[in-house]
């Protein structure tokens, strides 16, 4: 028994904590007739999206457009773009708190969700708070974070949020 504990410690100790390498996906043994559902941790995906190169590119495009419309003296469009910035920040905070839908994030993730569903033969990929009583669930959060190019710091922030969410109140 002691030998197994030492072997497990050595194996787990050799694994990277939170790298950008794809995490191995354990395919569950399907129970006859039970669908396999992919799940993701919502706060982790919200953090990963808003810290992603993808979101940075969206913001850079908006900033570029803002400078162009300022130069063109298009005050109506300037107001719209400035409003977009504030609303985006507020929406991100509301999404992180679980008080706003994450439709904009899911729209961006759609190609990866389709690809993962196909590769892993998943019936669906949903927020982990969604329950399917007769389904087998597989956590695809790390794979979605890989697709969003989540950094070590982002993964640590997401892990800390997950720990706080699990802590008894």
Helix (H) or strand (E) run with residue 119 in it: helix 103-120
- What is the tens place of the pLDDT at every residue in 25-84? 445 444 567 899 999 999 999 999 999 999 999 999 999 999 998 999 988 998 988 898
- What is the tens place of the pLDDT at every residue in 4-27? 333 333 333 333 334 444 444 445
Polymer length of the chain? 169
pTM for the model stands at 0.74
Cα atoms in the Cβ-side hemisphere of radius 13 Å centred on 125 = 24
- How is the chain split into domains, by residue range? 34-166
């Amino acid at each position: 028994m002691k030998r197994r504990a030492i072997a497990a410690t050595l194996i787990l100790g050799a694994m990277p904590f939170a790298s950008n390498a794809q995490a191995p996906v354990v395919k569950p043994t399907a129970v006859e007739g039970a669908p396999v559902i992919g799940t993701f941790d919502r706060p982790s995906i919200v953090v990963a999206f808003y810290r992603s190169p993808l979101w940075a590119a969206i913001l850079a495009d908006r900033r570029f457009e803002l400078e162009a419309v300022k130069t063109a003296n298009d005050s109506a469009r300037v107001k719209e773009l400035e409003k977009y910035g504030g609303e985006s920040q507020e929406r991100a905070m509301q999404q992180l708190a679980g008080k706003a839908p994450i439709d904009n994030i899911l729209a961006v993730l759609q190609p990866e969700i389709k690809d993962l569903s196909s590769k892993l033969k998943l019936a669906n990929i949903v927020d982990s708070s969604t329950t399917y009583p007769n389904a087998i669930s597989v956590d695809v959060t790390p794979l979605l974070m890989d697709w969003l190019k989540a950094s070590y710091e982002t993964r640590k922030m997401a892990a800390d949020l997950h720990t706080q969410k699990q802590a008894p109140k």
